[in-house]
Amino acid sequence: MNGKQKAHIEFTLNGERAEVAFAPHKTLLEVLREDLSLTGTKHGCELGECGTCAVLLDGRSVLSCLVLGLDAEGRSVQTVEGLADAAGLHPLQETFADTGAAQCGYCTPGFLLVAKELLAHNDNPSREEIKEALSGNLCRCTGYIKIYEAVELAAARMRGEEMELPREAVYGLE
Amino acid sequence: MSEARQQSSIVGRPVPRKEGRAKVTGAARYVDDLTLPGMIYGATVRSTVARGRIKNITFGEGVPWDELTVVTARDIPGANAVALILLDQPYLASEFVNHPEEPIVLLAHPDKHLVERARRAVLVEIEPLPPVFTIEESAAKKEIVWGEDNTFKSYLVEKGNVDEVWSRDDVLIVEGEYRTGAQEQLYIETNGVVAVANADEGVTVWGSMQCPYYVHKALIKLFDLPEEKIRVIQTETGGGFGGKEEYPSMIAGHAALLAWKSGQPVKIIYDRAEDMAATTKRHPSLTRHRTAVTRDGKLAAQEIEFTVDGGAYATLSAVVLSRGTIHAAGPYYCPNVRINARAVATNAPPHGAFRGFGAPQSIFALERQMDKVARALDLSAEEFRRRNFIREGETTATEQIIREKVDMAGLLARAFELSGYEEKRGRFARENAGRGKVKRGIGFATFMHGAGFTGSGEVFLQSIVGCEASSDGRVHILAASTEIGQGTNTIFAQIAAEALKLDYDMVEVSRPDTASVPNSGPTVASRTCMIVGKLVESAALGLRQTLQGAGLLAEVYTADEWREACRRHTERHGALKSFSQYKAPPDVVWDDGKYRGDAYGAFAWAVYVAEVSVDLVTYDARVEDFVAVQEVGRVIHPVLAAGQIEGGVAQGVGYALYERVAWREGRMANSQMTNYIMPTALDVPPIRVHFEETPYPYGPAGAKGIGELPMDGPAPAILSAVEQATGVAFTHIPLMPEDLMKELGDARD
Ligand code: FES
Ligand code: FES
């Protein structure tokens, strides 16, 4: 904008090759939101305190407000926009929508990506393991309970199992 | 009740959340996701002192000032006052500042990093004046910092005559003093707006907010423009909890002033530190109780002095105080009550709305006092409550006759059963006598929460809701009530679909936009479901009446017949709309002068039980288990309702044990998420939520309010449990490890 040198990177974004040019001091969060118009990734502090900006970098969750855009060079980034595929929503997206895990929804993208990372390594996490994995993500609306239930339900569905949840936990149960 | 349940198909069912899919795919658009062509970024220069006179403003070196838009109070086209209850709070301080973080100068530039640098380069020279920081200093009029006597508002509630009771020889008198701290709402999305403003088109603002018409009213005054020249649109909102009730009027005005002067769209998004330090928080409070009880454990008199710290300007303190006052005597019957309530000024940023709105403060004090009185009587806390619970036909402190079916003893029994209260109470008492370093306790609170605006508030609001049927038969609800995560869109659609016997998917809720929706009042006070929901119901029924009156629709109809009727009606007469305006239910009478009468159309009733552990080595207090039993009328949506309770309880846990605002000269010194601690996934206990359902005849499909209730009970229940664990009856929140250490460490020496 003010004629300064721009950085230029190539990387994999949500499974596809991407290129972007941006001011070199920008965080990955800013590059995603401002230069790539992927506004699904949110921010609540830009200081590494709230977990809202989490994305996956080579499959591992990182706080995009603490990572420089330059650090994504040659790597693979996944954001909430890349969770669904042609076949439909990711099981976590379905269960977050089905269980009331997303109230205001602002923390949801960050939770989804951290939960995805957890399930990639552990297909049947205990409640304690889920709490531990998600403890870096803040949610002010839900009290977290419906978020745990959403992760448990998605894990069960991904294992091909049925799971019983209380009536007040899931939309659409009669 | 079961009959109603059978007839209905949509209310009471956990239908999918309307905007659920958008929220899990990243498609939902929050304010910072909007970008307009030519948009520039705004920032706010704020006062660094608590109170003083502005001497000079200098624009420091190293900033290309000619590239920046600079706005001061002199640039304001209309009135320099944020219109709310009073007009005492300026948009921009011009001569005096009355609190730290008070806005003085606005800046905007296309480069948001540069505007931040510029903000730091503005030096405001302020000659300090003596400030007031505590309720005691303000009440003692150490300095007069607001009005004649530092008092924003006071209320006196008198029932019977307490003075005749103190000298009776058949009563025991117990006194107590209780304090609650400020609390930050900490919605994860900070405050933000985008504004476009110019003389031709007027002012348009998009923002994260609860009350579009509050912003609308404020901008009319600020710009001195006719109402049709101001347009306010709510974007998807990342949580509010009261924190986006009045503050958006301020930030919207700031962005609009910058847009007006620069001729370009302006975005202002607060960073976390600014949002925490500068915007409103829950009012701190100080409550003194004097209670007289007969030897057989009946309340004979309650005298309550309830004071809240309103900060530097009036904002909503009068109404926060009102709700706190009315809830101060709780769900108990007492023949003689006096409540003296006052909101006082200090030189802190104005305190404001936060879920519960004064009630969590006064209920905390009352419930701690009830435990203390029970102890003095040598009765169990529950037995003392049972002897005093209010019953149908009895009167509250404001002499409101309870006409609903209320069964607090039943709720208590249910909560005890679900939590295993009695067994645990006995077991913990035995175990705590041992040498273990971790002590346990279980405690509870019993309380009520009024739904809707207090007293005549709803009558003054005159809320309106519209429904529009399009030619394809789809129904659009037109209301300014906002979806802020609590599920407004979903329950409104349920209520309308139920009323019209249509599919839930045929009903949509229009985005709150003052250009296209009527004023259904603010999204506050647990009123959205009960009050506005009822209007949705009658507006929806109005559509059907119109179609039936025109002979286009039979008494019983199918969805196709409905569509056909809408098509024919719109062909002939154009848009098919129906509006409904609030009418008070019969025999609701309120006397504002005497503060007497029917304070609320209905109350929700609840009993919460908390189990805690206290580590005597680390002084860490943790909530281990939580049971929330409540009666909120008919539950419209079980998942949303449980979500409201769970989220509210988590905030209550924070209020009780974690969330302490560190004040330094009126400024919040810990304005980060790492030093102001809200509960994380590791801190929230299992929460078991149970609803008893007693349909309320004047609520939509029998529903009452729910949103604020869960904020009231956790803190007193938790402190009651801590009392069992430690043997100390703590009287203030937040109860931090250092407080436990001070008290318990001393006791051990
Ligand atoms: S925005 Fe990155 S951790 Fe809060
Ligand atoms: S759903 Fe609102 S912050 Fe988590």
Q: What is the pLDDT of residue A2?
A: 47
Q: Which residues sit with their C-beta closer than 6 Å to ligand 1?
A: A 43-46, 48-53, 63, 65
The Å distance, Cα A138 to ligand 1 centre, comes to 10
Radius of gyration of chain A (CA): 17
Q: With contact defined as beta carbons under 8 Å apart, do B257 and B201 qualify? A: no
DSSP for residue B40: E
Q: Which ligand is nearest to the CA of A96?
A: 2
User: Which residue does chain A place closest to B686, by CA atoms?
Assistant: A145
Instruction: Select the residue from B10, B13, B17, B24 to test the A interface by mutation, using most A Cβ atoms within 10 A.
Output: B24
10 Å Cβ neighbour count for B309? 23
Distances (CA, A) of B725 to B384, B640, B649: 21, 34, 21
pTM: 0.95
Contacts of B189 in chain A (CB under 8 A): 42, 44, 104, 106
Q: Sketch the domain layout of chain B as residue ranges.
A: 2-28+463-581, 34-129+186-278, 285-454+594-748
Rounded Cα–Cα distance for residues B56 and B714 (Å): 48
For testing contact with chain B, the best of A41, A145, A151 (most B CBs within 10 A): A145
User: In a 10 Å sphere around its CB, with 0-12 CB exposed, 13-18 middle and 19+ buried, how is residue B581 labelled?
Assistant: middle
Q: Which of B237, B640, B649 sits opposite A143 (nearest CB)?
A: B649
Tell me the C-alpha distance between B534 and B527, whole Å: 10
In whole angstroms, give the CA distance from residue B390 to residue B447.
Answer: 11
Sign for the pseudo-dihedral over CA of B368, B372, B377, B381: positive
A169 vs B contacts (CB less than 8 Å): 639, 642
Residues of A whose CB is below 8 A from B651: 140, 143
Does A144 sit within 8 Å of B14, measured CB to CB?
Answer: no
Average pLDDT over residues B329-347: 98
Structure-token pair, residue A25: 């001091």
Kindly state the helix (H) or strand (E) to which residue B286 belongs, with its residue range: strand B285-294
- Domain topology for B285-454+594-748: Aldehyde Oxidoreductase; domain 4 (3.30.365)
Angle, vertex CA B313, rays to CA B733 and CA B80, nearest 5: 150
pLDDT for the residue numbered B7: 44
Closest by CA position to B453, among listed B582, B328, B298: B582
- Check: CB of residue B218 under 8 Å from CB of residue B275: no
**B24 CA: distance to closest CA in chain A (Å):** 5
Q: What is the pLDDT along chain A (174 residues), one digit of tens a residue?
A: 445 689 999 999 999 999 999 999 999 999 999 999 999 999 999 999 999 999 999 999 999 999 999 999 999 999 999 999 988 999 999 999 988 899 999 999 999 999 999 999 999 999 999 999 999 999 999 999 999 999 999 999 999 998 877 655 555 433
Q: Tell me, what's the pLDDT at B260?
A: 98
Q: Which residues of A touch B672 (CB under 8 A)?
A: 45, 47, 49
**So what's the pLDDT on residue A168?**
57
Residues of chain B contacting A46 with CB distance shorter than 8 Å: 271-272
Selection from A105, A117, A120, A101 nearest residue A165 by Cα: A101
B24 in contact with ligand 2, CB cutoff 6 A: no
Angstrom CA distances, B523 to B240, B243, B419, B700, stand at 10, 11, 33, 17
The pLDDT score that the predictor gives to residue A4 is 66
Give the closest residue to B348 by CA, choosing from B320, B319, B322, B313.
B313
The shortest CB-CB distance from B639 to any of A135, A138, A168 is to A168
Stretch B197-215: mean pLDDT: 96
Chain A residue with Cα closest to B271: A45
What is the A103 CA–ligand 2 centroid distance (Å)? Answer: 5
* Cα B41 to ligand 1 centroid, rounded to whole Å: 20
Contact present, A95 and A154 (Cβ < 8 Å): yes
Residue A141: list chain B partners with CB under 8 A.
Answer: 239, 485, 643, 647
Rounded distance between C-alpha atoms, residue A25 and residue A4, angstroms: 11
Confidence of residue B699 (pLDDT cuts 50, 70, 90): confident
Mean pLDDT for B590-594 is 89
CA distance B438 to A75: 48
**Chain A partners within 8 Å of B31 (Cβ):** none
* Cα–Cα nearest to B406, from B343, B333, B479: B333
- Alpha carbon of B164 to ligand 1 centroid (Å): 59
User: Is the CB–ligand 2 distance for residue A103 below 6 Å?
Assistant: yes
> Model confidence over A45-83: pLDDT tens digits?
999 999 999 999 999 999 999 999 999 999 999 999 999
Q: How far is the CA of A147 from the centre of ligand 2 (A)?
A: 10
Q: How far apart are the C-alpha atoms of A22 and A33, rounded to whole Å?
A: 12
Q: Which amino acid is at B590?
A: W
At B12, list the tokens.
Answer: 């009471």
Residue nearest to atom 3 of ligand 2 (CA): A139
Q: Collapse the DSSP code of B591 into the 3-class scheme (helix H, G, I; strand E, B; otherwise coil) and give the result.
A: strand
Write the CB contacts of B51 (distance below 8 Å, at least 6 apart in sequence).
Answer: B96, B97, B98, B99, B128, B129, B130, B131, B132, B145, B347
Residue B353, φ and ψ in degrees, nearest 5: -70, 140
Provide the pLDDT for residue B746. Answer: 60
Report d(CA B42, CA B266) in Å as an integer. 6
DSSP chain A: --SPPPEEEEEEETTEEEEEEE-TT-BHHHIIIIIS--TTS--S-SSSSS-TTEEEETTEEEETTTSBGGGGTTSEEE-GGGT-BTTBS-HHHHHHHHHT--SS-SSHHHHHHHHHHHHHH-SS--HHHHHHHHTTS--SSS-SHHHHHHHHHHHHHHTT------GGGSTT--
Tell me the CA–centroid distance for residue A29 and ligand 1, in Å.
9
pLDDT at B5 over 70: no
**What is the nearest CA distance from B656 to chain A, expressed in angstroms?**
15
Closest-lying ligand to the alpha carbon of A49?
1
Q: Which ligand is nearest to the CA of B208?
A: 2
> Which atom of ligand 2 is the closest one to the Cα of B189?
3
C-alpha pair distances (Å), B651 with each of B462, B646, B719: 32, 9, 15
Average pLDDT, stretch B110-118?
96
Contact B270, B279 (CB under 8 A): yes
Question: In the structure, what pLDDT confidence band is assigned to residue B1 with cuts at 50, 70 and 90?
Answer: very low
Residue with tokens 């929050």: B30
B671-693 pLDDT, tens digit per residue, is 999 999 999 999 999 999 999 98
Gap from CA of B697 to ligand 2 centroid (Å): 33
User: Stretch B482-488: mean pLDDT, rounded?
Assistant: 87
What pLDDT is stored for residue A173 in this prediction?
Answer: 38
Pocket test for ligand 1, best of A46, A108, A111 (most atoms within 8 A of CB): A46
Question: How many A-B residue pairs are in contact by the CB < 8 A criterion?
Answer: 191
Please report the pLDDT score of residue B695 as a whole number.
83
| Residue the block writes with tokens 């007009």 | B87
User: What domains sit in chain A, N to C, each tagged with a CATH number?
Assistant: 7-82 (3.10.20.30), 91-169 (1.10.150.120)
Extract the tokens encoding A90: 């990711």
- Do the domains at B2-28+463-581 and B285-454+594-748 have one common CATH topology? yes
Give the gap in angstroms from C-alpha A141 to the nearest C-alpha of chain B: 5
Does B33 touch chain A if contact means CB atoms closer than 8 Å?
A: yes
Average pLDDT, chain B: 94
B41: left (phi over 0), alpha (psi -120 to 50) or beta: beta
- The CA distance from A58 to the nearest CA of chain B, in Å, is 20
CA atoms within 13 A on the CB side of B167: 3
Residue in chain A closest to B641 (alpha carbons) equals A168
Burial of B273 (0-12, 13-18, 19+ CB in 10 A): middle
Segment (H or E) for B418: helix B408-419
In angstroms, the CA B183 to CA B141 distance is 25
CATH of B34-129+186-278, one of 3.90.199.10, 3.40.50.300, 3.30.365.10, 2.30.29.30: 3.30.365.10
Angle of CA points A4, A10, A16, to nearest 5°: 135
Contact check, Cβ <8 Å, B187/A167: no
**CB-based contact (8 Å) between B641 and chain A?**
yes
Identify which of A27, A31, A43 to mutate to test ligand 1's pocket (most ligand atoms within 8 A of the CB).
A43
Confidence band for B454, pLDDT divided at 50, 70 and 90: confident
DSSP state of B528: I
Three-state SS at B316: coil
Name B451's bridge partners. B602
Name the residue of A112, A140, A146, A149 whose CB sits within 8 Å of the most ligand 2 atoms, as the mutation to test its pocket: A140
Are B29 and A46 an interchain contact pair (Cβ–Cβ within 8 Å)? no
Residues B606-634 have pLDDT tens digits of 999 999 999 999 999 999 999 999 999 98
Q: Which chain B residues contact residue A102 at CB under 8 A?
A: 17, 20, 23-24
Asked if B487 reaches chain A (Cβ–Cβ under 8 Å), the answer is yes
What is the phi/psi pair of residue B427, to 5°? -65, -45
Question: So what's the architecture of B2-28+463-581 in CATH?
Answer: 2-Layer Sandwich (3.30)
